[in-house]
Structure 1
Amino acid sequence: MASPPSRDQADRIRYIKGDLFTCPRTDSLAHCISEDCRMGAGIAVLFKKKFGGIQELLDQQKKSGEVAVLKRDDRYIYYLITKKKVSHKPTYENMQKSLEAMKTHCLNNGVTDISMPRIGCGLDRLEWDKVSALLEEVFEDTDIKITVYAL
């Protein structure tokens, strides 16, 4: 018989109904983009308007399965690179690799709280059950808390 999830696991991902950009200013943010950093649709447009830095992101030359990062004030903005072109669809494998890359950056930079939308599940059409399972798996041995916002 499987043991019940530890208190840590139960608290790892919290769900909030509301606007992602109302999260605490101390939380780092995360969302998914393509290698070309187009950000022309969905929540990515809001990230582009709010944080800019497109050239800064492009200069990092990150590939699918990696993460590009902007530092804004005292927090990081994570751009999970889950596909090559804006017209492509991401894979769960690239999502997992990008999450692993983000975790490594978080651990190396003392990040303890990340807020995000239901990554990969809007225009990219991944299934939230699978993506949330990846989040649980990737972050299970950390103290990083994730808050997922949905409108």
Structure 2
Amino acid sequence: MNTNKNSLINFQEIKGDLFANALPHESLAHCISKDIRMGAGIALQFVKKYGGVQELKAQRKNVGEVAYLKRDDRYIFYLITKEIVYDCPEKGDFICSLHCLRGLCEQLGVSVICMPRIGTGLDKLPLDFVHASVKEIFKGSDIVIKMYYI
């Protein structure tokens, strides 16, 4: 990993299962809609594993913000990237959510975030855009990003 603060962040893309491979103390992140209807894709797996739908709704977060849960030794971050579950996120809203995520991680002392290929799949953002956005927004931080794919 590169330790020069002015260069790219500590970013790893890892072939494997996010839930099986992320260590118990590593925080997790993924994208959802403001309506918090997580009925498909990896979001459904997050609901089954961590619950907390009412906790998330009570936080009343808007598009471009991040809701989160604390479960055991980790945080579970929910990037709110669109209004309604059937929408696709705007690139600007996705970027705002990433900025919010970085701020929360710095505030909470999170040093590792494990995530799927956020914004791709059902949300249809280009993977190159997602990679570039994550790298740019977390550049200069000590936060390690591990992006899992199967």
TM-score range, shorter chain: over 0.9
TM-score by length of 1: 0.93
Query: Does the alignment pair 1:140 with 2:135?
Result: no
Unpaired runs of 5+ residues, structure 2, are: none
CA displacement at 1:12 relative to structure 2: 1.4
Q: Deviations over 1:93-120 (max 9, x none)?
A: 1111001111111001110000000001
Q: Which residue of 1 aligns with 2:129?
A: 130
1:44 equivalenced with 2:39 (yes/no): no
CA distance in 1, matches of 2:90, 2:115: 19
CA–CA distance in structure 1, aligned partners of residues 64 and 8 of structure 2: 27
| Separation in 2, partners of 1:131, 1:48 | 23
What is the alpha-carbon distance in structure 2 between the residues aligned to residue 40 and residue 139 of structure 1? 29
* % same residue: 51
TM-score by length of 2: 0.94
Taking the aligned partners of 2:123 and 2:77, their CA distance within structure 1 comes to 17
Q: Secondary structure at the match of 2:75?
A: strand
Please tell me whether residue 12 in structure 1 is matched to residue 16 in structure 2. no
Deviations 1:108-138 (A, max 9, x none): 1110000000001011110010011110111
* 1:13 to partner: Cα distance: 1.1
Root-mean-square deviation (CA, aligned residues, Å) is 1.2
Provide the aligned length of Structure 1 versus Structure 2: 146
Q: Deviations over 1:80-100 (max 9, x none)?
A: 000000011101111110011
Please point out which of 2, 18, 21 is paired with 2:19.
Answer: 21
5+ long unaligned stretches in structure 1: 1-5
Q: Which residue of 2 aligns with 1:81?
A: 80
The CA deviation at 1:16 is: 1.0
Aligned structure 1 segments of 4 or more residues deviating by more than 2 angstroms: 8-11
Check the 8 A contact 2:9/2:139 in 1, yes or no: no
Rounded Cα–Cα distance in structure 2 between residues aligned with 1:69 and 1:136: 22
Identify the residue that residue 93 of structure 1 maps to in structure 2.
92
